[in-house]
């Protein structure tokens, strides 16, 4: 069984600072706002708080475009506010993780300003510059056909110095050149700055994209109708990535007692991700894989991003089983998440957010969450069952650049005043904006998030769906999460136990057994709104006690080989 560690047993709460709590009425969440909620977080059962980026930023991509790594953006406060926040967390026995965004900077970072100022700048080589290609007729083209993750070419022409620079994301997010040892040293020095000041770890943005294939070859044409091609084979898990991450570990991480999780999109290959995580490699504690997040989008990675696809429960089960069972002996460790700032809300996606089933299915998903092994991530609002924005919202309510670019691309061939309902259907299901609406604290104006005008519209459902209405209601989604997080802490079979799937081909219920020593637990989750009967002939669980239920059946009859489940019911039996 897995070696024990504090960071394996922790619950990490992700805060998207702009949308959490506004202390000064400017409509934007801030650090004093977060400080005012620390008792709340402690009370919920949180061990570590991860803050999405709060550094200086022109905010082209929600702060993932950083113009100064060593300062706080004034919208959030000051370094003094950050110190106070860390002190407040540490006093309460909680820790803090900062977001480390080092695949790219903002184009307003002083490093990039220097780099673009002239070809002879000492920082020219800190980013990735290449000359143009020219067609026989003289038309200027980017150095290769790579597509940006946010639409268009991954290269932007700089007329001043007559070269293109690479950006896997927005033109305002130029990629750093990790091949240059000075760049690495500057990043490591910046990491030491935050660790010395008190951060307890990092969530590392797209850390698996930092090494690109040399020579920048043209990508194979997957979509012949597209001018540019998304080409992760040339920039995801590239040739020197492990060398770079190992160096980061050796020179920085290993000198501190810290927790690390790397974001690793664009691969579901277990061996590829294991290389970052296995302790013997001395890189990171864990990574975020994206396999669950891709269940409800079409498999063509080159296709438009905000298009939904119907998923099957067996597909979800396969993904969960694959990672739960992966390399427990060798020491692979999972991160367990189902919501974050880049994803639509889980209750709208994997549950049912209609009034009849929303609370029930949100609690059922909480059971799925807390009964898996891996470090647990809870995203702000998940604990009160926050849902996607209403379908009635127009495109102007969506603030995310990914949504806007998707819309602009999709509208190009369409008539100005034509029907866009198909587009809006997809956007309402898939846009990142869904998770970025302000936190719903109470039923007063703006959900108690701000006394001013919120930077992003508050979800219309806040009068009914808010923390205040749930915190003292023992039947609420919040109370269930509160109990479930405690419950997990008291049963380490869920953290360290073996995972065994039951009835793998069943499209309605997801059932699995967890075992640790002589403890066995059975989890049965009904993913439909219909009642059903679950039967299992397994001696190990016969007579097990019903210890957690989202229908308040705790202490109900022991498991006798069969249990009837109502819509979206979830039960946990322990032997
Ligand atoms: O996201 C990386 C990433 O590739 C996806 O999560 C992305 O949001 C999605 O695939 C788009 O379809 C990270 C951050 O979490 C995200 O907020 C940033 O926009 C991105 O990196 C760039 O820093
Ligand atoms: Ca504010």
Distance 28 CA to ligand 2 centre (A): 4
Cβ–Cβ under 8 Å, residues 88 and 35: yes
Q: Is 305 in the pocket of ligand 1 (CB under 6 A)?
A: yes
Q: Mean pLDDT throughout 116-128?
A: 98
Q: Atom of ligand 1 at shortest distance to CA of 265? A: 4
* Residue 511 falls inside a structural domain: yes
Instruction: Check whether residue 447 and residue 554 sit in a common domain.
Output: no
Instruction: Check whether residue 304 and residue 233 sit in a common domain.
Output: yes
Which of 415, 447, 481 marks a domain boundary?
Answer: 481
Cβ–Cβ under 8 Å, residues 53 and 480: no
Shortest-distance ligand to the CA of residue 452: 2
pLDDT given at position 1: 63
**Strand-pair partners of 300:** none
Q: Is 261 in the pocket of ligand 1 (CB under 6 A)?
A: no
pLDDT digits (tens, 9 = 90+) for 34-69: 999 999 999 999 999 999 999 999 999 999 999 999
Q: Is 53 in the pocket of ligand 1 (CB under 6 A)?
A: no
Instruction: Check whether residue 519 and residue 375 sit in a common domain.
Output: no
pLDDT given at position 501: 97
DSSP state, residue 108:
T
Candidate from 206, 268, 292, 305 with most ligand 1 atoms within 8 A of CB, to mutate = 206
Instruction: Check whether residue 526 and residue 447 sit in a common domain.
Output: no
Which of 452, 481, 510 marks a domain boundary?
Answer: 481
Instruction: Check whether residue 460 and residue 530 sit in a common domain.
Output: no
pLDDT given at position 254: 98
* Residue 71 falls inside a structural domain: yes
* Residue 137 falls inside a structural domain: no
Q: Mean pLDDT throughout 279-291?
A: 97
Distance 128 CA to ligand 1 centre (A): 20
Rounded to two decimals, what is the model's pTM? 0.98
* Residue 171 falls inside a structural domain: no
**What residue numbers bound the domain in which 504 lies?**
499-574
pLDDT given at position 300: 83
What's the pLDDT band for 111 if we cut at 50, 70, 90? very high
Q: Is 266 in the pocket of ligand 1 (CB under 6 A)?
A: no
pLDDT given at position 2: 78
199 burial level (CB within 10 Å; 0-12, 13-18, 19+): buried
> At CA 452, angle to CA 450 and CA 456, rounded to 5?
70
Instruction: Check whether residue 443 and residue 561 sit in a common domain.
Output: no
What's the pLDDT band for 474 if we cut at 50, 70, 90? very high
CA distance 94 to 13: 11
CA distance 367 to 236: 33
Runs of H (alpha helix) within 412-490 = 421-430, 467-471, 477-490
Instruction: Check whether residue 458 and residue 355 sit in a common domain.
Output: yes
**How far is CA 202 from its chain centroid?**
13
Q: Mean pLDDT throughout 276-300?
A: 95
pLDDT digits (tens, 9 = 90+) for 289-308: 999 999 999 988 877 889 99
Q: Is 63 in the pocket of ligand 1 (CB under 6 A)?
A: no
Instruction: Give the domain CATH number at 462.
Output: 3.20.20.80
Q: Mean pLDDT throughout 361-378?
A: 98
* Residue 261 falls inside a structural domain: yes
**Residue 65 neighbours by CB under 8 Å, 6+ apart:** 57, 58, 59, 104, 105, 106, 107, 169, 170, 172, 173
β-pair type (55-56, 48-51): unpaired
Which of 481, 509, 542 marks a domain boundary?
Answer: 481
β-pair type (201-204, 95-100): parallel
Cβ–Cβ under 8 Å, residues 289 and 323: yes
Instruction: Check whether residue 445 and residue 555 sit in a common domain.
Output: no
Q: Locate 322 and state its tokens.
A: 């694959």
Cβ–Cβ under 8 Å, residues 543 and 553: no
Q: What is the mean pLDDT of the chain?
A: 96
* Residue 186 falls inside a structural domain: yes
Instruction: Check whether residue 190 and residue 335 sit in a common domain.
Output: yes
* Residue 492 falls inside a structural domain: no
> At CA 177, angle to CA 171 and CA 181, rounded to 5?
155
Instruction: Check whether residue 221 and residue 88 sit in a common domain.
Output: yes
Is the Cα dihedral 384, 385, 388, 392 positive or negative? negative
Of the chain, the percentage scoring pLDDT greater than 70 comes to 100
* Residue 185 falls inside a structural domain: yes
Q: Mean pLDDT throughout 145-160?
A: 96
Shortest-distance ligand to the CA of residue 19: 2
pLDDT digits (tens, 9 = 90+) for 503-531: 999 999 999 999 999 999 999 999 999 99
Q: Is 352 in the pocket of ligand 1 (CB under 6 A)?
A: no
Split into its structural domains, the chain has a count of 2
Q: Is 207 in the pocket of ligand 1 (CB under 6 A)?
A: no
Residue 112 DSSP SS3: helix
Instruction: Give the domain CATH number at 553.
Output: 2.60.40.1180
Instruction: Check whether residue 333 and residue 260 sit in a common domain.
Output: yes
Distance 191 CA to ligand 1 centre (A): 21
CA distance 51 to 29: 12
Instruction: Check whether residue 477 and residue 531 sit in a common domain.
Output: no
Judge whether residue 535 has pLDDT over 90. yes
Where in the sequence numbering do the catalytic residues fall? 205, 263
Q: Which residue's CA is minimally distant from atom 18 of ligand 1?
A: 64
What's the pLDDT band for 287 if we cut at 50, 70, 90? very high
pLDDT given at position 499: 96
β-pair type (155-158, 163-166): antiparallel
pLDDT digits (tens, 9 = 90+) for 193-233: 999 999 999 999 999 999 999 999 999 988 888 899 999 99
**Strand-pair partners of 545:** 574
Q: Locate 519 and state its tokens.
A: 């403890």
Q: Atom of ligand 1 at shortest distance to CA of 290? A: 6
Least Cα distance to 30 among 94, 74, 67, 70 occurs for 74
Shortest-distance ligand to the CA of residue 454: 2
What's the pLDDT band for 427 if we cut at 50, 70, 90? very high
């Amino acid at each position: 069984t897995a070696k024990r560690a504090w960071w394996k047993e922790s619950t990490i709460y992700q805060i998207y600072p702009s949308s959490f709590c506004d202390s000064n009425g400017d409509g934007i969440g801030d650090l004093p706002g977060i400080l005012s909620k620390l008792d709340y977080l402690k009370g919920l059962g949180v061990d570590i708080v991860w803050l999405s980026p709060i550094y200086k930023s022109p905010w082209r991509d929600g702060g993932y475009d950083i113009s100064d790594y060593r300062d706080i953006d004034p919208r959030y406060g000051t370094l003094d506010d950050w110190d106070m926040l860390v002190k407040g967390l540490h006093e309460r026995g909680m820790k803090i993780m900062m977001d480390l965004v080092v695949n790219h900077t903002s184009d307003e970072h002083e490093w990039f300003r220097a780099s673009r100022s002239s070809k002879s700048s000492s920082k020219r080589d800190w980013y990735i510059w290449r000359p143009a290609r020219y067609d026989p007729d003289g038309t200027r083209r980017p150095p290769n056909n790579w597509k940006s993750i946010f639409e268009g070419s991954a290269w932007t022409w700089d007329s001043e110095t007559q070269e293109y620079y690479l950006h896997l994301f927005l033109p305002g997010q130029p990629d750093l050149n990790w091949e240059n040892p000075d760049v690495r040293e500057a990043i490591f020095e910046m990491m030491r700055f935050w660790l010395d000041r008190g951060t307890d770890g990092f969530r590392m943005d797209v850390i698996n994209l930092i090494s690109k294939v040399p020579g920048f070859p043209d990508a194979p044409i997957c979509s012949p109708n597209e001018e540019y091609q998304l080409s992760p084979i040339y920039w995801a898990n590239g040739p020197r990535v492990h060398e770079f991450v190992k160096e980061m570990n050796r020179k920085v991480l290993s000198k501190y007692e810290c927790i690390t999780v790397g974001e690793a999109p664009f691969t579901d290959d277990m061996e590829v991700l294991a290389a970052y995580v296995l302790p013997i490699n001395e890189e990171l504690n864990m990574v975020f894989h994206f396999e669950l997040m891709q269940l409800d989008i079409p498999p063509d990675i080159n296709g438009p991003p905000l298009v939904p696809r119907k998923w099957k429960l067996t597909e979800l089960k396969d993904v969960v089983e694959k990672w739960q069972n992966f390399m427990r002996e060798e020491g692979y460790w999972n991160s367990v998440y189902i919501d974050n700032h880049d994803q639509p809300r889980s209750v709208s996606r994997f549950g049912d957010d209609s009034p009849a089933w929303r609370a029930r299915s949100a609690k059922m998903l909480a059971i799925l969450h807390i009964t898996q092994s891996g470090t647990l991530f809870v995203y702000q609002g998940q604990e009160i069952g926050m849902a996607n924005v209403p379908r009635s919202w127009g495109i102007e309510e969506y603030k995310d650049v990914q949504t806007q670019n998707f819309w602009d691309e999709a509208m190009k061939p369409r008539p100005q005043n034509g029907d866009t309902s198909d587009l809006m259907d997809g956007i309402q299901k898939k846009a990142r904006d869904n998770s970025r609406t302000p936190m719903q604290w109470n039923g007063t104006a703006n959900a108690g998030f701000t006394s001013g005008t919120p930077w992003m519209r508050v979800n219309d459902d806040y009068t009914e769906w808010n923390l205040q209405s749930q915190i003292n209601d023992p039947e609420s989604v919040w109370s269930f999460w509160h109990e479930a997080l405690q419950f997990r802490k008291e049963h380490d079979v869920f953290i360290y136990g073996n995972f065994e799937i039951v009835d793998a081909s069943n499209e309605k219920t997801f059932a699995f057994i967890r075992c640790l020593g002589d403890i066995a637990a059975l989890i049965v989750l009904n993913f439909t709104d219909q009642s059903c009967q679950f039967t299992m002939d397994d001696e190990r669980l016969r007579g097990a006690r019903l210890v957690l239920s989202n229908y308040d059946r705790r202490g109900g009859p022991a498991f006798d080989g069969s249990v009837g489940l109502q819509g979206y019911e979830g039960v946990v039996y322990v032997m």
